[in-house]
Structure 1
Amino acid sequence: MMTTFCRWGFVSALWAVAVPGFAVCSASPPSTESGTPTSQILFNIAPGGYPPYTVINSDGSVSGIMWDVMTTIASANGLTVEARQIPSKRVDNFMLSGELDATMRAIEWTHKPEQFAFTEGVLKAQDVIFSTRKQPLALSSIDDLEGTILLTHLGYRYPMLEAHLEAGTIRSIDVPDGQTMFRRLAGAERFNGLVFNRRAGEWIIQHNNWQETFIREPLVLEETDYRLMFSPQWRPMMSCFDETLLQIKQDGLLDSILARY
């Protein structure tokens, strides 16, 4: 099972003491096998990263919106963060077995969310439609998608589309990753659009210089609170993490993080 971990472990360059300016947490992190409180959070950044939420840089370091938020919260509570790259199908089992501490997730996307501990929402995650500039869809409602063929992310569910997909009024083709979705949309006129996370899609377009090829449709299919999800052993720390997260938002630090990506 260890082979599913990344071959490197990037530990955030933060000191393991409470950071000045943040409230000191009265709760204790989970204990190690020796009985001492752990000082590290093993955080899933997804295989290859999930930009702009987690980004693996050319030197092997990690950055990204959720990484920066996680390391800030951890440092404020006397903890460090180490990155792990775990396939999505194995994340829940790894967390429940104690091999992984945290990941980024919405409650609504989680099977048996009561098994885990969640922070308050870090930001809103939006599922949107991307189309090509040559064949824009000009959507104003989901009904406008009737008769289309959409590329969708393998393993993901889209509740707002389910009735149309089941009725066959909208067709979908699953694709394993975002880069491939955009390339297939650009290369085949039979596809009308793709469904993807707004920020992740805009990142792909920007970093491939595809601004003249794709557009984001105005229709938002779903908007969800994107959170940090922890293994159940971390539940006593959630109030402390949420307090730090609130302060990050109030101080403008979250806005600064978002502006970087």
Structure 2
Amino acid sequence: MKLLKARVLVLLVGLFVPLAVQAAAKATELKFVLYFPQVPPYMYQDKESELVVGLVPEVLQDFFSQQNIQVQYVADNRTRAEHSLYQGDVDAILLAKEWTQHPDKLVFSEPLLEHKDFLFSRQPMATAGQLADWVKGKAICTRQYYVYQALEPFFQTNDTARVDSSSELTQLTMLLNGRCDFAFMNEHVANWLLHHHFPEQQLYRSASGFNPVGLTVAFHPRWKPQMAAFNRYLREQQQQGVIAQWLKFYVTKS
């Protein structure tokens, strides 16, 4: 009888150990916002595969895998996404600290990379000069609701006309159709659009860029314990040139 009890105990232990391992291995879920309108080459949904692709998913997927974190992408617009992050309904969004209403309520990663805004034109631009001289009396295609620190003084004095659009694609389309004199755009997004949507069009950009911004991931504060490891991972990816390689791949990918 004692031997039988021992065998039963061994069997029970054998059954519970795999269950305990499975419980311990269960992935933590993270809801990451996919903006709409989407922002290639950073993050967008591939039309054929319907997978979320781009620089950001490629760079971050190894870290999330290492940490046993399962990412669920949630589509939303920029304004609602920020509010949802404050409420804790989502876990992370692609967002620079200076663009937020309440930066003290979020946790920000170190920058993945930096980008600048440039003026894009149908005509060659002077290699030297001041922004005030370029935009005075001109119309500039912009994104609706965006705040452009470099241009706001000229918009406020009515020296420059602001022509809003719903997306960066619409900005360039309006520029090419003569609706404005310049489009003011993120350099990486503009390069992606020119390569994928307007490969036969020739556009020129200003010699210098404006509004340098670090592309960061904003997390809900409950993810603060993971930030040291996450930032360390980002630094490694930068030093190894991985981020620059993915950026080049997605900008030029056909």
Calculate the TM-score normalised by the size of structure 1.
0.80
The residue aligned with 1:16 is none
Mapped to 1, the partners of 2:131 and 2:211 lie a distance apart of 11
How far the C-alpha of 1:208 sits from its partner, in A, is 1.4
Cα deviation for residue 175 of structure 1 reads: 0.8
Which residue of structure 2 aligns with residue 25 of structure 1? none
Q: Given the alignment of the two structures, is residue 39 of structure 1 paired with residue 18 of structure 2, yes or no?
A: no
The corresponding residue for 2:3 is none
Indicate the residue corresponding to 2:220 in structure 1.
231
Question: Which stretch has the larger CA shift, 178-187 or 213-222?
Answer: 213-222
SS across alignment from 1:203 = helix
Q: 5 Å matches for 1:155-166? A: 155-166=145-156
- Give the superposition deviation at 1:216: 2.2
Instruction: Report % sequence identity.
Output: 24
What is the CA-CA distance between 1:210 and the residue it aligns to? Answer: 3.7
Instruction: Return the alpha-carbon distance in structure 1 between the equivalents of residues 49 and 27 of structure 2.
Output: 27
Whether 1:198 and 2:187 are equivalent positions in the alignment is yes
Structure 2 residue 79 is matched with structure 1 residue 77: no
1:73 aligned partner, one-letter code: F
Which whole-Å CA distance do the structure 1 matches of 2:152 and 2:234 have between them? 34
Shift of 1:205: 0.8
Using the TM superposition, name which of 68-77 and 105-114 deviates more: 68-77
Contact 1:128 1:217 in 2 (8 A): yes
- Give the superposition deviation at 1:38: 6.3
Q: What secondary structure does 1:218 align onto? A: coil
* Aligned residue identity for 2:154: H
State the alpha-carbon separation in 2 of the partners of residues 114 and 72 from structure 1: 28
Residue matched to 1:124: 114
Shift of 1:217: 2.2
TM-score (norm 2): 0.82
Mapping 1:1-261, distance limit 5 Å: 39-57=28-46, 58-132=48-122, 135-138=123-126, 140-144=129-133, 145-188=135-178, 191-261=180-250
Give the superposition deviation at 1:260: 1.3
Per-residue Cα deviation, 1:34-80 (whole angstroms, up to 9, x for no partner): xx996122111212531000121121011111122222321232212
DSSP-derived class of the 1:219 partner: coil
Q: What is the Cα deviation at residue 193 of structure 1?
A: 0.6
- The residue type equivalent to 2:124 in the other structure is P
C-alpha distance in 1 between matches for 2:242 and 2:210? 28
SS of equivalent residue, structure 2 residue 215: strand
Task: Output the aligned Cα RMSD.
Answer: 1.9
Structure 2: distance between partners of 1:199 and 1:138: 22
User: Which ranges of structure 1 fall in alignment gaps of 5 or more residues?
Assistant: 1-35
Contact 1:116 1:231 in 2 (8 A): yes
Q: Secondary structure at the match of 2:189?
A: helix
Q: How far, CA to CA, are the matches of 1:252 and 1:112 in structure 2?
A: 32
> Is the contact made by 1:130 and 1:216 (CA closer than 8 Å) also made in structure 2?
yes
- Contact 2:163–2:180 (Cα < 8 Å) also in 1: no
User: What's the secondary structure of 1:45's corresponding residue?
Assistant: strand
Q: Which blocks of at least 5 consecutive residues in structure 2 are unaligned?
A: 1-24
Q: Which has the higher helix share?
A: 2
Please say which of residues 62-71 and 120-129 is displaced more in the overlay: 62-71
Partner of residue 32, structure 1 = none
Report the structure number with the largest CA radius of gyration. 2
Quick check: 1:186–1:213 contact (8 Å CA) kept in 2?
no
Q: Write the distance in 2 (CA, Å) between the matches of 1:115 and 1:104.
A: 15
Q: Deviations over 1:162-185 (max 9, x none)?
A: 111111111111111111111111
